[in-house]
Structure 1
Amino acid sequence: MNTETESTTRLPVWRIGLTGGLVGILCCAGPAVLALLGVISAGTAYVWATDLYDGYAGWFRLGGLAALALLVWLTLRRRDECSIAGVRRWKWRLAGVLGVAVATYVALYAATTRLGTLA
């Protein structure tokens, strides 16, 4: 008999999605956070973010997808459900993970673009 409750067996949709989205937008969010902390100036952050986004945005997005896939794989493996049946069981939660990751990326992209106009 399985004594685990549904809340302890859920996938951590928010944690995985936020991590994947954040890694994907680090090219812009990293310099913005450094500027907000006062480590670098707003102008420097703008230049760094522009250079990183123009030259390496694709690599950061691939890194975000890789982080997302790795975290999903580790989570399913820990639950001993790293199979097609496990993916089918969690398909709606996995879609939620992807949705949270995309929403995080879009929100941070909009925020950093807005901060760039103020720089």
Structure 2
Amino acid sequence: MTTGSEEQTRTRVRTDRLPMWRIGLTGGVVGILCCAGPTVLALLGIVSAGTAFAWATDLYGNYAWWFRLSGLAVLVLLVWLALRRRDQCSIAGMRRWRWRLLGVLAVAVATYIVLYAVTTWLGTLA
């Protein structure tokens, strides 16, 4: 059996960590929505593959940087909210979490690259 203080310590340890994976995946997905959005619609059968390909090509060709900047903005906002919730929104807090913050960025970039590769591959099948 665990005592109340042990349970509080475990809970504090779990909630004290920066949600690196959730923040990184969310930022990466928002950044690639120009391609992943039409692809998901096609996979769900809402639009045809040809329509999804045309939409993704148009969105990626004309608005890719808007989506990337939106993904970066979501990433920054979620990191800011997570650090603020922990009262770590300072230079010292950034130093304390620097490796987790680099991990967030790495997860976001990897998510973007993987989804880009998958949607490009699916585009060759359309």
Q: Scaled by the length of structure 2, what TM-score is found?
A: 0.91
Please give the root-mean-square deviation of Cα atoms over the aligned residues, in Å: 1.2
User: Does the alignment pair 1:65 with 2:77?
Assistant: no
User: Superposition pairs for residues 34-113 of structure 1, below 5 Å?
Assistant: 34-113=41-120
SS in 1 for 2:69: helix
* Residue 7 (structure 1) shift: 2.6
Bigger Rg, structure 1 or 2: 2
Task: Give the Cα separation in 2 of the matches to 1:99 and 1:7.
Answer: 22
Unaligned runs of 5+ in 2: 1-7
Moved over 6 A (4+): none
**Deviation (angstroms), 1:56:** 0.2
The letter for the 2-side match of 1:95 is L
Aligned length: 118
Give percent identity, aligned residues only: 75
SS at structure 2 position matched to 1:104 = helix
TM-score, structure 1 as length reference: 0.96
